[in-house]
Amino acid sequence: MFVLLGTHNVIDACMELNVKRLVYTSCIIYPSFPSIFFDDVHGIHNGNETMPYVHSVHTLATYLRIPNDHYSATKAKGEALVIKANGTNGLLTCCIRPSSIFEPGDRLSMPSLVAAARKET
């Protein structure tokens, strides 16, 4: 709920301040977890922006599929808001779904990736 309110606020602020571009960072969770696209049954192969969401519900004059957990559902609804805002008052929008994001000092993902890379060399 708060994520959606924040997304609404960002879109409204962009329009009020005549911002021309908005990039929404969504997510794609690894297929061992429920996600926007993964239904715990089917894998993701050659996925792209045309992949349907999980669990069909009619909304926004198209079929937006609502995922099976609150986090993914919120991200999917946020994407729908951003896509719907595209072209309104000159605002160009897009959504990206990075599979991983790393930051300096990351101690969760990077050490295991580095260790695996060292074993291969």
Per-residue pLDDT of the chain (121 residues; tens, 9 = 90+): 677 899 999 999 999 999 999 999 887 653 334 445 555 555 666 666 666 665 433 333 333 444 556 777 787 788 889 999 999 999 999 988 776 777 777 777 778 878 888 886 5
Model pTM score: 0.62
For domain 2-120, say whether CATH 3.40.605.10 is its number.
no
Question: Is 75 assigned a catalytic role?
Answer: yes
Chain centre to alpha carbon of residue 79? 6
Q: For residue 117, what are the CA distances in angstroms to 12, 50, 99, 110?
A: 44, 33, 19, 10
Of the residues 20, 75, 84, 119, which is catalytic? 75
